[in-house]
Amino acid sequence: MSARPFLLLAPLAILAACATSGPAVDGRQPANVDAVVDMTPVLRFSPNQLKIKAGDTVEFRNISAFTHTVSSRASAIPAGAVPFNSGQIKGGGTYRHTFTVPGTYNYFCDPHHSAGMTGVIVVSAS
Catalytic residues: 68, 109, 112, 117
Element (H, E) at 4: helix 4-19
Is residue 68 a known part of a binding site? yes
Is residue 97 a known part of a binding site? no
The span from the CA of 88 to the CA of 124, in Å, is 28
Is residue 109 a known part of a binding site? yes
The span from the CA of 45 to the CA of 72, in Å, is 14
Q: Which residues pair with 75 in a beta bridge?
A: none
Altogether, the residues listed in the chain come to a count of 126
Judge whether 95 and 89 are in contact, CB under 8 Å.
yes
Is residue 18 a known part of a binding site? no
* Binding-site annotation: residue ranges for Cu cation: 68, 109, 112, 117
* Binding-site annotation: residue ranges: 68, 109, 112, 117
